[in-house]
Amino acid sequence: MHRPTLGAITEHSIASDASGISFQTTDPRLQSHYQSALDLLAANVQKVPGYQKPVLIEGSVYRGIWLECGPHEGLVYSAIRPDVARNNHLAFFDLQREDGQLPCNIKLTEAGYGQIQTVVPIAATAWELCQQTHDGQLLEAAYSSCGRWDGWLRKYRDSRHTGLCEGFCTFDTGHDNSPRWAGIPNRCPDGDARKCPTVPSLPRLCPDLSATVYGGRVALAAMARAQGRDSEADNWLELATTIRQLILDRLYDPADAAFYDLDAQNQFVRIRGDVISRVLGEHVVSQELFEAIYRRQIDNPSAFWAPYPLPSIALDDPHFVRPIPRNSWGGASQALTALRAPGWMEHYKKPADLAHLMQQWVDALLRAPDFRQQLDPLTGVFTDDPPGYSPAALVLVDFTWRLAGVRKLGDDLEWNVRPPAANIHARFHLRVNPALTAEIRYESGRAQLFLNSHRILTTNSVVRLTTTERGEFRTAVGIVPQKSTVVMHQAHPPPRTFLIDANATVDM
């Protein structure tokens, strides 16, 4: 399962203050906010009880790391602090209980086990980090811990024996103050995630929790294969295939093109929320089914394609909560949802649409005085939450590079070329490995692409290009909303000119 991140990853043994990326611009507002984001993230690198190495905490009022988001945030931060990315995984593995349960959170006060609180599978983020850093120790730890965690979920969160993953409480999915969980306790009884509250509609079969299990199993299969455990890999893939089909058969309503919880009376909880995008986030659906869901729900201005995507409840769902309170998954567009969007919008070939989402979030963040949790999807105004929220800072850093920077993507380089106004200069510098650097320089309304200070291209077009590390061009991708003309001036004339559609890929 591939989840691209914002830049190059260096070996975890490198000095902890080393960064694989650097960015400068003459746009004073962007430079100031970008630096503020880096400063905030550095300040939020702290130690938590039970684990002695620094981790990136959630920030704001969330003084710790949460299973639903901490590993993923560490992965995004890995271009700057690969050691912290590693620690954001190992902290959970180190505090795993003997029966296989991972902590739902590790706060500055204590670790919690009162809910499962899982969204992005820790197995998937660990596997991607292992691929980037070639960290064999992390691979072994992740495979063992994540396999035991899957066993715990099968034992304690499949009480209805359906093969799907069950939700017992609001915090299981991290949907604080969401109408999805109206009337349901926040935590499990006695702070024990094995115990289901005595509520008639519980336990529920949850599409997003089940999708997270699916994504974890796909990653476990890949980890097993990497270790030469082929029979175990086959078993994980078989388990993944089984739960994927169950999600589609039992938790999807084609009439609404939406995924819903199925309560204990086998009735859908018909509230259209970001459950849908979470299922897409684990690549559960085919491209064909994705297009149907995308057209009806995500790319629908009346539902989820708000001026500032993506609301946590569809705009036209009667359960959307207004006025928007703090920490509300009842309608607000959440920084966490934005941070997760590239993982599925790229997979399903919507890079131009993703660029729009990212630009809207960057614009909103540049207008805001600090980094806060959520914004109004119609106005882009952030709720007056306490500042210092790491996911919002990560959104600005990550999206800045995804919009106009160069990123390492597997064995290739991804050049997101987006020249700013002619009076703005900018420089994105990426250390690919100790022997190779990649750079985009913007000046006078044009972009110049360099490998080890050797210019390989000049253009004033907006386009994504992929190359090998030797500078050989592979593809061009349309990242603007309409058909556009691309003119490429390479080392040898004449220039190369072609048309490209939004979201389209041209083989070069």
For the stretch 222-267, pLDDT in tens is 999 999 999 999 999 999 999 999 999 999 999 999 999 999 999 9
- From residue 222, alpha-carbon distances to 126, 301, 315, 452 in Å are 11, 37, 38, 33
- From residue 489, alpha-carbon distances to 211, 406, 421, 497 in Å are 45, 18, 20, 9
pLDDT of residue 18: 56
Question: Does residue 384 share a domain with residue 485?
Answer: no
The answer to whether residue 64 is domain-embedded is no
Q: Which of 231, 250, 279 is the last residue of a domain?
A: 279
Dihedral of the alpha carbons of 403, 405, 406, 409, in degrees to the nearest 10: -30
Q: Say yes or no to pLDDT of 60 above 50.
A: yes
Query: Strand, coil or helix: what is 82?
Result: helix
Dihedral of the alpha carbons of 142, 144, 145, 150, in degrees to the nearest 10: 110
Distance from CA of residue 354 to its chain's centroid? 12
pLDDT of residue 19: 78
Question: Does residue 486 share a domain with residue 429?
Answer: yes
Report the alpha-carbon distance of residue 106 to residue 48 in Å, rounded: 7
Report the alpha-carbon distance of residue 300 to residue 321 in Å, rounded: 19
Question: In residues, how long is the chain?
Answer: 508
pLDDT of residue 363: 98
Residue that the structure tokens 């004449």 belong to: 494
Per-residue tokens: 35 = 């630096």
- From residue 344, alpha-carbon distances to 118, 256, 287 in Å are 17, 20, 11
Residue 491 pLDDT class (50, 70, 90 cuts): confident
Q: Which helix (H) or strand (E) holds 366?
A: helix 351-367
Q: Tell me the β-bridge partners of 507.
A: 475
Q: Which of 373, 402, 431 is the last residue of a domain?
A: 402
The answer to whether residue 40 is domain-embedded is no
Question: Does residue 440 share a domain with residue 335?
Answer: no
- From residue 253, alpha-carbon distances to 162, 204, 289, 432, 440 in Å are 18, 16, 12, 45, 46
Least reliable range by pLDDT among 2-6, 17-21, 150-154, 283-287? 2-6
Question: Does residue 269 share a domain with residue 329?
Answer: no
Question: Does residue 422 share a domain with residue 309?
Answer: no
Question: Does residue 228 share a domain with residue 191?
Answer: yes
Question: Does residue 417 share a domain with residue 379?
Answer: no
The answer to whether residue 51 is domain-embedded is no
pLDDT of residue 66: 98
**Number of structural domains the chain divides into:** 3
Report the alpha-carbon distance of residue 339 to residue 233 in Å, rounded: 29
Using alpha carbons only, give the angle 245, 251, 252 rounded to the nearest 5 degrees. Answer: 90
Q: How many other CB atoms sit within 10 Å of the CB of residue 350?
A: 22
Report the alpha-carbon distance of residue 70 to residue 349 in Å, rounded: 26
Per-residue tokens: 452 = 């080890």
- From residue 292, alpha-carbon distances to 286, 289, 297, 348, 403 in Å are 10, 5, 8, 12, 27
372-412 pLDDT per residue, tens: 999 999 999 999 999 999 999 999 999 999 999 999 999 99
311-363 pLDDT per residue, tens: 999 999 999 999 999 999 999 999 999 999 999 999 999 999 999 999 999 99
Question: Does residue 397 share a domain with residue 416?
Answer: no
Q: Say yes or no to pLDDT of 435 above 60.
A: yes
Question: Does residue 270 share a domain with residue 164?
Answer: yes
453-472 pLDDT per residue, tens: 999 999 999 999 999 999 99
Mean pLDDT, range 300-311, rounded to an integer: 98
Q: Tell me the β-bridge partners of 448.
A: 441, 458
Residue percentage of the chain with pLDDT more than 90: 95
Each as own residue / partner, the long-range contacts of residues 299-302 (CB below 8 Å, 24 or more positions apart, any chain) are: 299/353
Q: Are 237 and 222 in contact (CB under 8 A)?
A: no
Report the alpha-carbon distance of residue 69 to residue 119 in Å, rounded: 7
Question: What's the whole-number average pLDDT of the chain?
Answer: 95
Report the alpha-carbon distance of residue 72 to residue 427 in Å, rounded: 27
The answer to whether residue 440 is domain-embedded is yes
Question: Does residue 497 share a domain with residue 453?
Answer: yes
Q: Tell me the β-bridge partners of 489.
A: 458
Per-residue tokens: 405 = 């920077």
Q: In 150-300, where do the E strands start and end? A: 166-167, 204-205, 252-253, 258-259, 261-262, 268-269
Question: Does residue 275 share a domain with residue 325?
Answer: no
Amino acid, single-letter form, for residue 31: Q
pLDDT of residue 2: 36
Per-residue tokens: 455 = 């210019």
Q: Say yes or no to pLDDT of 14 above 90.
A: no
Q: Which of 402, 428, 451 is the last residue of a domain?
A: 402
Q: Are 464 and 440 in contact (CB under 8 A)?
A: no
Q: Tell me the β-bridge partners of 273.
A: 313
Spatial neighbors of 28 by CB under 8 A, at least 6 apart, are none
The answer to whether residue 34 is domain-embedded is no
The answer to whether residue 99 is domain-embedded is no
pLDDT of residue 427: 98
The range of the structural domain enclosing residue 230 comes to 157-279
Query: Strand, coil or helix: what is 47?
Result: strand
Question: Does residue 376 share a domain with residue 395?
Answer: yes
Dihedral sign computed on CA atoms, order 144, 146, 149, 150: negative
Mean pLDDT, range 289-299, rounded to an integer: 98
Mean pLDDT, range 270-291, rounded to an integer: 98
Residue that the structure tokens 């000095």 belong to: 15
Q: Say yes or no to pLDDT of 3 above 60.
A: no
The answer to whether residue 138 is domain-embedded is no
Q: Say yes or no to pLDDT of 10 above 80.
A: no
The answer to whether residue 17 is domain-embedded is no
Query: Strand, coil or helix: what is 422?
Result: coil
